[in-house]
Chains A and B, each alone.
Chain A
Amino acid sequence: MTQTQAPGLGATQDEHLEALGKYRFGWHDADTAGASARRGLNDDVVRDISARKGEPEWMLERRLKGLRLFERKPMPTWGADLGGIDFDNIKYFVKSTEKQAQTWEDLPEDIKNTYDRLGIPDAEKQRLVAGVAAQYESEVVYHKINEELERQGVVFLDTDTGLKEYPELFQEYFGTVIPTGDNKFAALNTAAWSGGSFIYVPKGVHVSIPLQAYFRINTENMGQFERTLIIADEGSYVHYVEGCTAPIYKSDSLHSAVVEIVVKKGARVRYTTIQNWSNNVYNLVTKRATCEEGATMEWIDGNIGSKVTMKYPAVWLLGEHAKGETLSIAFAGEGQHQDTGSKMVHAAPHTSSSIISKSVARGGGRASYRGLVEVQPNAHHSASSVKCDALLVDTISRSDTYPYVDVQTDDVSMAHEATVSKVSDDQLFYLMQRGMEEDEAMAMIVRGFVEPIARELPMEYALELNRLIELQMEGAVG
């Protein structure tokens, strides 16, 4: 286990276990930005956010409409327990630096420290990162785009800048995939959004390296409401990677993002998330893509952190031969509820979708798969396959499957399958008699279980996922 040992872990078993209970990225810098921001949300706060950003009038109206819908909509009761969220005790807008930095050296010292520990400069050096939009608190402070991308006409900006520079694209697409009143949290995001990524890929452009952004919440009780809009024009390809880690704080944080993706004719978009918020974050996210004729949307969705996650990446298959895919992995440890899944709506003939979901629950955590496959009456010759596997490693954890299937036409093939299994004594015995420790063996079995998803990730994410799983699994055996 030496290769995976986190800094500061004890040598004896007791110290080791003690240290394992702590969140590894649980440091945070002195809270200088958050002190001034107000708590709670009302008309004035929304107007203030919009004015500070110098937004056009239509966006302010959209925000106010979002606020009204947010106030009117009831809290969802069908999923995880959201009783711990206090909307009046959240700061809806925090700005940490006045203007965006152009190079790494321009970043403030404490922000650089944060990112050094996340390893961003290394990734940059290895040229694995195409453009890094590092979101520190509510606004993007560091932004660099590879010259090659600029030459191809690819736009990769934070959403606020995107709105300033490409107002016509925003008017055309903003809120079209996820309407303001789609759900309570999408309405909240529309009212309070700040930051996020804006990507436009021109016709026929193939972005060969993944575009990445790091998100962090660093102010106590600070909601983070990123708004991401990705437009992949005809025949283009882009892979966007979103990763999250957040420090531990005393009271609960709320993260409620909206991600809208427009995949035009023949284009392909892959969106990868490894969500590792600290265990006090409510992560309530709406993600949806629309696919035109022959387009492909792929969601790769890893949920490891947070206290409660409710996230169901969706694909609306609007054109013939469109294709949607979701690979989802959820890891629920002590005190965590991962309520995740995917939605596929077949609204055109010859569309296909597949959902593969894997979940591991341990230490009393709860992992739920909740999904929907809807085949509308005109979507003949469609095919869909859903596979959910759950792995239980102890007797106190919980695993649920709620797969909704609604088929409204005859010429269709739809299959759903789920298995729930327990790590067997035979598997453990086999590995242990080859000289492995029990927790090592357990971690290896879990890694094997999630391997089909891990291999779809960019390499450094796959490594990080494996490391996180090992950290999670240590102490699971007792």
Chain B
Amino acid sequence: MTITEVPNVAGAIETLESHLHPQPSFDLADHPSPNGREEVWRFTPMRRIAPLLEERANEDREGDPAVAFTLNAPDGVEASTLNRGQAPRGTVLVPGDRPAALADLGCEDALYVRIPANTEVAEPIRLEIEGRDAGRRSNAVHVIVAEPNSKATIVYRHSGSTQQLENIEIDVRDGANLTFVSLQDWADDTLHAAEHTARVGRDATYRHVNVSFGGDVVRMHTNVYYDGPGGSAELFGLYFADAGQHIEHRLFVDHNAPHTKSNIDYRGALQGQDAHAVWIGDVVIRKVAEGIETYESNKNLVLSEGARADSVPNLEIETGEIAGAGHSSTTGRFDDEHLFYLTSRGIDPVEAKRLVVMGFFVDIIRRIGIPDVEERLVAEVERELAASVGAAK
């Protein structure tokens, strides 16, 4: 089989308008304030997210920024800033909705992290993002470039209270290998809208892990498209929606190059009155994308009454010449058979439930590959479970 060379497709998403992915644009006029009936907004609580739809500058005060950033970059990694219009800012990500357009408008200096070609960075690059005030806006644009054949891991940790808009553009060049972990560990009054867009180069490997525990309204877009054949993207996520929380993950993988792969696996648990989790997956397989392979999966565990889970794994396929495509979505509570098995072995019911839920999440956690993050997540799940199921013995 011949592998067709695909021209550079920067901004390729622009040509792919549909009710699921409106035309991206930097111009705010192209993103009028939504009324909640639009396909891409219909699950979002519009009144609560309204502050993120207003045009506002960074509300930093002298010596007291709205959000404190602490970058911990190991040797070999370069960090600087980019003005609006200064390449490579704006090459990979074109805002797909109003918050993303506002983030770009409101951010003068984008953080620029560059991993030089042929460099392997053993230690994770860490960025701590700490909100200071639930009433103040922060507009962030980050540009991450993993140059050819480099390898690195980046861990973002969001905490505290704020109104955060965040665009992260990630360019994984040919043969590079990048793992990006984003932890949403916000306080309960934070509003967060983010767009993480990656372009995956020829034979490059990209892994994106989304972990959403905290926040009042969290709306995360994770987009991927390709810059050549052989690219692979793995998008994992886990989330825990507690009473009153709205956690929304929207994924969009555009298979615009042949012989590319994507694998999406998101798992979440919901507990408490009006806990709401929304998961929208969308995989597009274009005509040119022959021989690709994709699977998307979302599993929801509803731990108490009053919670609500929306799950929509979309698939749009324009060619039949593919290796495989599928998706699945399940929503339910504890698997009674699993529980029965464990209790029949003498494990008490509370412990059994805890084990079943842990097993559900550990499947994702162990794929992250960063020991301290994994340990932290296991502890976090334990803490969440103590509320609805019971504490570990």
Q: Point out residues on A near B: beta carbons under 8 Å.
A: 77-78, 361, 377, 380, 390, 392-422
Contact B320 A410, beta carbon cutoff 8 Å: no
Contact B303 A401, beta carbon cutoff 8 Å: no
Q: Which residues of B contact A421 (CB under 8 A)?
A: 324
Contact B303 A403, beta carbon cutoff 8 Å: no
Contact B303 A397, beta carbon cutoff 8 Å: no
What is the CB-to-nearest-CB distance from A278 to chain B, in angstroms, rounded to a whole number?
Answer: 25
Is B328 interfacial (CB 8 A cutoff)?
yes
Contact B328 A398, beta carbon cutoff 8 Å: no
Q: Which residues of B contact A390 (CB under 8 A)?
A: 317
What is the CB-to-nearest-CB distance from A377 to chain B, in angstroms, rounded to a whole number?
Answer: 7
Q: Which residues of B contact A405 (CB under 8 A)?
A: 309-312, 329, 331
Q: Can you report 19 A-B residue pairs in the complex whose CB atoms are below 8 A from each other?
A: A361-B320, A380-B305, A393-B320, A394-B320, A396-B320, A397-B318, A405-B329, A409-B305, A411-B305, A412-B331, A412-B332, A413-B333, A415-B330, A416-B328, A417-B328, A418-B313, A418-B328, A419-B326, A421-B324
Cβ contact of B329, chosen from A411, A416, A420, A422, cutoff 8 A: A416
Please indicate which of the listed interface residues B290, B310, B325 has the most CB atoms of chain A within 10 Å of its own CB: B325
Question: When A and B form their complex, which 5 residue pairs have the shortest distance between CB atoms, in order from nearest?
Answer: A392-B320, A410-B302, A416-B329, A414-B331, A401-B315
Contact B315 A400, beta carbon cutoff 8 Å: yes
Q: Which residues of B contact A404 (CB under 8 A)?
A: 310, 312
Contact B330 A420, beta carbon cutoff 8 Å: no
Q: Point out residues on B near A: beta carbons under 8 Å.
A: 19, 39, 287, 290, 300, 302-322, 324-333
* In the complex with contacts A397-B320, A410-B333, A420-B302 CB distance below 8 A: no
- Docked pose: A408 CA to B311 CA in angstroms: 12
Contact A396 B329, beta carbon cutoff 8 Å: no
- Docked pose: A401 CA to B316 CA in angstroms: 6
- Docked pose: A341 CA to B324 CA in angstroms: 22
- Docked pose: A393 CA to B327 CA in angstroms: 20
- Docked pose: A417 CA to B315 CA in angstroms: 12
What is the CB-to-nearest-CB distance from B21 to chain A, in angstroms, rounded to a whole number?
Answer: 13
Contact B302 A422, beta carbon cutoff 8 Å: no
- Of all chain B residues, the one with the shortest Cβ separation from A411 is B333
- Docked pose: A416 CA to B313 CA in angstroms: 9
Contact B287 A406, beta carbon cutoff 8 Å: no
* In the complex with contacts A78-B39, A400-B315, A412-B333, A420-B328 CB distance below 8 A: no
Contact B315 A420, beta carbon cutoff 8 Å: yes
Contact B318 A398, beta carbon cutoff 8 Å: yes
Q: Which residues of B contact A418 (CB under 8 A)?
A: 313, 315, 326-328
What is the CB-to-nearest-CB distance from A363 to chain B, in angstroms, rounded to a whole number?
Answer: 11
Cβ contact of A403, chosen from B300, B309, B329, cutoff 8 A: B329
What is the CB-to-nearest-CB distance from B279 to chain A, in angstroms, rounded to a whole number?
Answer: 9
Q: Which residues of A contact B324 (CB under 8 A)?
A: 420-421
Q: Which residues of B contact A416 (CB under 8 A)?
A: 311, 313, 327-330
Q: Which residues of A contact B290 (CB under 8 A)?
A: 395
Contact A406 B329, beta carbon cutoff 8 Å: no
Cβ contact of B313, chosen from A380, A397, A403, A406, cutoff 8 A: A403
A-B contact sample (17 more), CB < 8 A, given A396-B319, A396-B320, A407-B302 = A78-B39, A377-B305, A377-B306, A392-B319, A395-B321, A399-B317, A406-B310, A407-B331, A410-B304, A413-B330, A413-B331, A413-B333, A414-B331, A416-B329, A417-B329, A420-B315, A420-B322
Cβ contact of A401, chosen from B313, B321, B333, cutoff 8 A: B313
Contact B307 A410, beta carbon cutoff 8 Å: yes
- Of all chain A residues, the one with the shortest Cβ separation from B280 is A404
What is the CB-to-nearest-CB distance from B313 to chain A, in angstroms, rounded to a whole number?
Answer: 6
- Docked pose: A421 CA to B287 CA in angstroms: 15
Cβ contact of A402, chosen from B312, B321, B331, cutoff 8 A: B312
Q: Which residues of A contact B318 (CB under 8 A)?
A: 397-398
* In the complex with contacts A392-B320, A405-B329, A410-B313 CB distance below 8 A: no
What is the CB-to-nearest-CB distance from B314 to chain A, in angstroms, rounded to a whole number?
Answer: 5
Q: Which residues of B contact A395 (CB under 8 A)?
A: 287, 290, 319-321
Cβ contact of B312, chosen from A398, A403, A410, A414, cutoff 8 A: A403
Q: Which residues of B contact A411 (CB under 8 A)?
A: 305, 333
Q: Which residues of A contact B332 (CB under 8 A)?
A: 412-415
Q: Which residues of B contact A409 (CB under 8 A)?
A: 302, 305
- Of all chain A residues, the one with the shortest Cβ separation from B306 is A377
- Docked pose: A394 CA to B306 CA in angstroms: 46
Contact A420 B333, beta carbon cutoff 8 Å: no
* In the complex with contacts A398-B318, A401-B313, A410-B19 CB distance below 8 A: no
Q: Which residues of B contact A417 (CB under 8 A)?
A: 326-329
- Of all chain A residues, the one with the shortest Cβ separation from B327 is A418
- Docked pose: A412 CA to B331 CA in angstroms: 7
Cβ contact of A396, chosen from B287, B311, B331, cutoff 8 A: B287
Q: Which residues of A contact B320 (CB under 8 A)?
A: 361, 392-397, 422
Q: Which residues of B contact A394 (CB under 8 A)?
A: 320
Contact B314 A401, beta carbon cutoff 8 Å: yes
Q: Which residues of B contact A413 (CB under 8 A)?
A: 330-333
- Docked pose: A411 CA to B315 CA in angstroms: 28
- Docked pose: A392 CA to B309 CA in angstroms: 31
- Docked pose: A407 CA to B268 CA in angstroms: 13
- Of all chain A residues, the one with the shortest Cβ separation from B276 is A408
- Docked pose: A415 CA to B147 CA in angstroms: 41
- Of all chain B residues, the one with the shortest Cβ separation from A380 is B305
* In the complex with contacts A390-B317, A401-B315, A422-B333 CB distance below 8 A: no
Contact B326 A414, beta carbon cutoff 8 Å: no
- Docked pose: A411 CA to B336 CA in angstroms: 11
Q: Which residues of A contact B321 (CB under 8 A)?
A: 395, 422
Contact A422 B303, beta carbon cutoff 8 Å: no
Q: Which residues of A contact B314 (CB under 8 A)?
A: 400-403
Contact B19 A77, beta carbon cutoff 8 Å: yes
- Of all chain B residues, the one with the shortest Cβ separation from A78 is B19
- Docked pose: A422 CA to B323 CA in angstroms: 8
Contact A407 B309, beta carbon cutoff 8 Å: yes
Q: Which residues of A contact B303 (CB under 8 A)?
A: 410
Q: Which residues of B contact A398 (CB under 8 A)?
A: 316-318
Cβ contact of B305, chosen from A393, A401, A410, A414, cutoff 8 A: A410
What is the CB-to-nearest-CB distance from A19 to chain B, in angstroms, rounded to a whole number?
Answer: 25
- Docked pose: A395 CA to B311 CA in angstroms: 29
What is the CB-to-nearest-CB distance from A238 to chain B, in angstroms, rounded to a whole number?
Answer: 34
Q: Which residues of B contact A380 (CB under 8 A)?
A: 305
What is the CB-to-nearest-CB distance from B333 to chain A, in angstroms, rounded to a whole number?
Answer: 5
Q: Which residues of B contact A403 (CB under 8 A)?
A: 312-314, 329
- Docked pose: A398 CA to B319 CA in angstroms: 6
- Docked pose: A393 CA to B306 CA in angstroms: 45
- Docked pose: A394 CA to B313 CA in angstroms: 24
- Docked pose: A438 CA to B305 CA in angstroms: 55
- Of all chain B residues, the one with the shortest Cβ separation from A417 is B328
Contact A406 B322, beta carbon cutoff 8 Å: no
